[in-house]
Amino acid sequence: MNPNAFSTTGLNKALLDNLDSLGYKTMTAIQAESLPAILEGRDVIGKAKTGSGKTAAFGLGILSNIDVKHFAVQSLVLCPTRELADQVAKEVRKLARGIHNIKVLTLSGGTPFGPQKGSLEHGAHIIVGTPGRIEDHLRKGNLKLEHLRQLVLDEADRMLDSGFEASVNNIIACIPEHRQTLLFSATYSDTIENLCNQLLKEPLRVDITEHPNKLTIEQAFYAIDSLEGDDQTQRLTALKLLLLQHRPQSTLVFCNTKREV
């Protein structure tokens, strides 16, 4: 038997069957080293880059611990951006397809407040959101976290760099002290270390320094001259020309804003 197979972790049959249907056969490094400890209820600090599979690691841990019959918020995942919160919530819902009647709710800034309040009135098992919006709902009494069992801080380094430290601390003050805390970060700074010391109890530290894709990546930089003050038009023209020249089979383009996307 493959020692890194999901079937070796003790996950329940519903989760294993769903993982099989998704084609998830073998755990990544971050999953293999952190998931067993997460399932045991230990606090975990995971250092791993984007694309390492950490969302599935804590997502499976969360889903294994949810009591579906207890309709209250039992797990909270904090993310630095709305885009990441949406991505994490989508992945958790995909992993939860084999579990009936489980509700995952996203609460993040940049979206209307009213509909979120309405959704909270109908309850949820898992909340995924950004610190500022979570703090707002707590302050207004829309969100209750007295039954919380698990707290996840995803991409904690970006969260603190974005100025959410005060919001995170305010949220911590509203949740039970007896809980499981999972923190994932691409880098470790002194601020991250201080946060870990405050929030986690005898955590397992997992450091995955190598990215799962070991292929050599060629990088190139193109400086675009500003013509008549329209940098965006020049960048877009350059991008079109590069795509026409290289004709890649697939392309991923990152932009700063939704409008640019």
Tell me the CATH number at 99.
3.40.50.300
Residue 124 lies in a domain: yes
- DSSP output for 203-225: PEEEE--S-S--S----------
- Pairs from 37-41 (Cβ < 8 Å, separation ≥ 24): 37/204, 38/180, 38/182, 39/9, 39/10, 39/11, 39/64, 41/65, 41/180
| Tally of domains within the chain | 2
Tell whether 212 is covered by a domain.
no
Q: Please choose, from the candidates 92, 105, 78, the residue with its C-alpha nearest in 3D space to the C-alpha of residue 160.
A: 78
Q: Is the domain of 134 the same as that of 246?
A: no
User: In this structure, are 163 and 240 located in the same domain?
Assistant: no
Q: Which residue type, as a one-letter code, is found at position 205?
A: R
Return per-residue pLDDT of the chain as tens, 261 residues.
677 889 888 899 999 999 999 999 899 999 999 999 999 999 999 998 878 899 999 999 999 999 999 999 999 999 999 999 999 999 999 999 989 999 999 999 888 999 999 999 999 999 999 999 999 999 999 999 999 999 999 999 999 888 999 999 999 999 999 999 999 988 888 888 888 988 899 999 999 876 555 566 788 888 887 655 567 788 888 899 999 999 988 899 988 888 888
Instruction: Looking at the structure, tell me whether residues 11 and 73 fall in a common domain.
Output: yes
Determine how β-strand 44-47 pairs with β-strand 180-185: parallel
**In a shared domain, residues 132 and 112:** yes
The verdict on 222 and 201 lying in the same domain is no
Burial of 133 (0-12, 13-18, 19+ CB in 10 A): buried
Question: What whole-number distance in Å separates Cα of residue 119 and Cα of residue 140?
Answer: 15
113-141 pLDDT tens trace:
999 999 999 999 999 999 999 999 999 99
Kindly state whether residue 213 falls inside one of the protein's structural domains: no
- End position of a domain, from candidates 207, 229, 248: 207
| Structural domain boundaries, residue 224 | 218-261
Give the pLDDT confidence score for residue 214 in this predicted structure: 57
Q: Do 46 and 89 share a domain, yes or no? A: yes
Is 158 in the same domain as 247? no
The Cα 45–Cα 201 span in angstroms is 10
Is there a single domain that holds both residue 167 and residue 143?
yes
Q: Do 68 and 146 share a domain, yes or no?
A: yes
Longest dimension (CA), the chain: 64
Q: Are residues 68 and 156 in the same domain?
A: yes
Q: Does residue 203 sit in the same domain as residue 226?
A: no
Of 207, 226, 244, the residue that ends a domain is 207
Residues 106 and 229 both lie in one domain: no
- How much is the pLDDT for 215? 61
Q: Rounded to 5 degrees, what angle do the CA atoms 45, 98, 109 make?
A: 55
